[in-house]
Amino acid sequence: MTIQTLVKHGLLIEGHMIRDTAQLKLDLTDLAGDEHKETIEGRLADEIISASAAQTQLLEFPSLQHFWENLLFRVGAVASMTGLTSGLYDCDYYDPSTGPEARLGTTDDSRVSRYWAFETPGGTDADWQQVVTEEALDAILPKQRHTLPFRGECAGAFQLTVFWGLLNGLGSERFREIANQFGTMLVGPWTDNPATEFMANKASLQDPPIPGDYMYFRNKDDYLDWAPDGFWQGLNAMYMGQDMLGKRHYSGMGASWLSEQNLRALLVNAYYHDCYPHIVPCPMSEVRFTIRRLLQIPSSITKQALPLKSADPARGTVPTITTLKAGGYEAIARDTYENQRTTVCECATLFGITALNLHQQQSSGLENPASRFDAPGATVVLTYHDPEADRRDPAAVVRVLVKLKSGLTSG
């Protein structure tokens, strides 16, 4: 019987359970050299090691070198998120209605980058694919008129910190080796995104988070019912570590080094602003962490970016209220209608689009992200009954919410 079958929790390196973290640090210093001693003995590395050993699921690394790389990756990701939220990197939200416009890697009016190309539909949303003729290392280096400025939203921001974390933590040559495995980078969509390969392992929200972990902080569940154009249905956040008093802190696009209490206050305030007159009666239970994923370099990378593109995106049409009701849509508020169970195909046909015209809802979490379409006169949001469904599968069963602009008649 192997040790793996006997022990189901804690930190396992080279087949040995780590009980003595002080010895582990000495072993890491012997491996990495004295030039990395400050990193190994730092508070962030100390918390990474101690929290890893305290997990209720088994964290296994085939070698000390593999664990060391993962530690450097986490340190690099935390530093990258710090740069993103502190202004070191020129990153901020876009606004599809009033500006600024979505962009990645260019400062001119065209928003066309040598390194990054807009995904569907038509370059108006915050979704990009790395241009395949350019090297991944060249595309991700944060230079003026290049990767930066970034005007997107929190999902893409977190994905950038994954790629930057690999670069900042492991250096250019190792980044290039890993990039040769995952190929084309995506920023924005969760589906088919190689960044998710580094966030594949689910982890318990009851365990102490490890600095660098992905964590989704979800606003009240009905946020999109009242604010389908809002950016605060949740926050794709990173656990940043403890402060000197042992309080945990988190960061994400628009939220820098916040405690859970302050992060909750941020999302509750956004709900009041975006969803008024609706309220959050029980903030402690209704605004909460729902997802935690370990940030970890996989032993092998299999996911490749396979974005679906629409070279000629449809603008779509908005049916009359009479047609909506005939199609199974019921009013839940003024100018707001829902169909609790339909398909992507049926919704697309009703609005005169194809599934390729759908794109990811802003601030969606890694698991079961919503899709949306903005037609002249309406915002359409699709949430999926099956979390594993292909986002653009015409047969996928969805709940559809339609928010009409005021003034649409029922004729």
Same domain? 26 vs 78? no
**pLDDT of 359 higher than 60:** yes
**pLDDT of 54 higher than 50:** yes
Give a yes or no: residue 355 inside a domain.
yes
C-alpha span between 184 and 309 (Å, rounded): 15
Give a yes or no: residue 411 inside a domain.
no
Give a yes or no: residue 72 inside a domain.
yes
* pLDDT given for residue 5 in this prediction: 45
Question: pLDDT band for position 410 (50/70/90)?
Answer: very low
Helix (H, G, I), strand (E, B), or coil: what is residue 199? helix
**pLDDT of 7 higher than 60:** no
Q: In this structure, how many other beta carbons lie within 10 angstroms of the beta carbon of residue 225?
A: 17
Written as six digits, the tokens of 21 are 């973290």
Same domain? 259 vs 182? yes
Same domain? 154 vs 268? yes
Give a yes or no: residue 315 inside a domain.
no
Give the contacts of 207 (CB within 8 A, at least 6 positions apart): 51, 54, 55, 56, 57
Give a yes or no: residue 349 inside a domain.
yes
* pLDDT given for residue 411 in this prediction: 45
Give a yes or no: residue 244 inside a domain.
yes
Question: pLDDT band for position 301 (50/70/90)?
Answer: confident
Residue-range definition of the domain harbouring residue 8: 3-63
- Asked if 253 contacts 153 with a C-beta cutoff of 8 angstroms, the reply is yes
Q: How many domains does the chain have?
A: 3
Same domain? 325 vs 290? no
* pLDDT given for residue 355 in this prediction: 87
Same domain? 163 vs 110? yes
Q: In this structure, how many other beta carbons lie within 10 angstroms of the beta carbon of residue 41?
A: 12
313 preceded by a cis bond (ω within 30 of 0) = no
- Asked if 372 contacts 188 with a C-beta cutoff of 8 angstroms, the reply is no
Tell me the per-residue pLDDT of 144-185, one tens digit each, with 9 for 90 and over.
Answer: 768 899 999 999 999 999 999 999 999 999 999 999 998 889
Tell me the per-residue pLDDT of 228-276, one tens digit each, with 9 for 90 and over.
Answer: 999 999 999 999 999 999 999 999 999 999 999 999 999 999 999 999 9
Angstrom CA distances, 173 to 68, 138, 166, 198, stand at: 16, 12, 10, 18
Question: pLDDT band for position 305 (50/70/90)?
Answer: low
Question: pLDDT band for position 121 (50/70/90)?
Answer: low
Question: pLDDT band for position 376 (50/70/90)?
Answer: confident
Same domain? 142 vs 13? no
C-alpha span between 295 and 197 (Å, rounded): 9
What share of the chain in percent tops pLDDT 90?
Answer: 78
Helix (H, G, I), strand (E, B), or coil: what is residue 106? coil
What share of the chain in percent tops pLDDT 70?
Answer: 92
**pLDDT of 409 higher than 60:** no
Q: In this structure, how many other beta carbons lie within 10 angstroms of the beta carbon of residue 124?
A: 16
Question: pLDDT band for position 123 (50/70/90)?
Answer: low
**pLDDT of 312 higher than 70:** no
Given 280, 309, 338, the domain boundary residue is 309
Tell me the per-residue pLDDT of 395-407, one tens digit each, with 9 for 90 and over.
Answer: 999 999 999 986 5
Give a yes or no: residue 108 inside a domain.
yes
Same domain? 103 vs 47? no
Tell me the per-residue pLDDT of 195-210, one tens digit each, with 9 for 90 and over.
Answer: 999 999 999 999 999 9
Angstrom CA distances, 68 to 36, 74, 144, 397, stand at: 11, 10, 32, 44
**pLDDT of 323 higher than 80:** yes
Same domain? 261 vs 346? no
Give a yes or no: residue 314 inside a domain.
no
Same domain? 155 vs 207? yes
Tell me the per-residue pLDDT of 59-75, one tens digit each, with 9 for 90 and over.
Answer: 999 999 999 999 999 99
pLDDT, mean over the chain: 91
What are residue 359's DSSP bridge partners? Answer: 372
Same domain? 43 vs 106? no
Given 43, 63, 83, the domain boundary residue is 63
* pLDDT given for residue 4 in this prediction: 46
* pLDDT given for residue 407 in this prediction: 54
Same domain? 258 vs 300? yes
Tell me the per-residue pLDDT of 274-287, one tens digit each, with 9 for 90 and over.
Answer: 999 999 999 999 99
* pLDDT given for residue 300 in this prediction: 81
Same domain? 166 vs 185? yes
Using DSSP bridges, classify how beta strands 10-13 and 214-218 pair: parallel, antiparallel or unpaired.
unpaired
Given 63, 96, 114, the domain boundary residue is 63
Question: pLDDT band for position 102 (50/70/90)?
Answer: very high
Question: pLDDT band for position 109 (50/70/90)?
Answer: confident
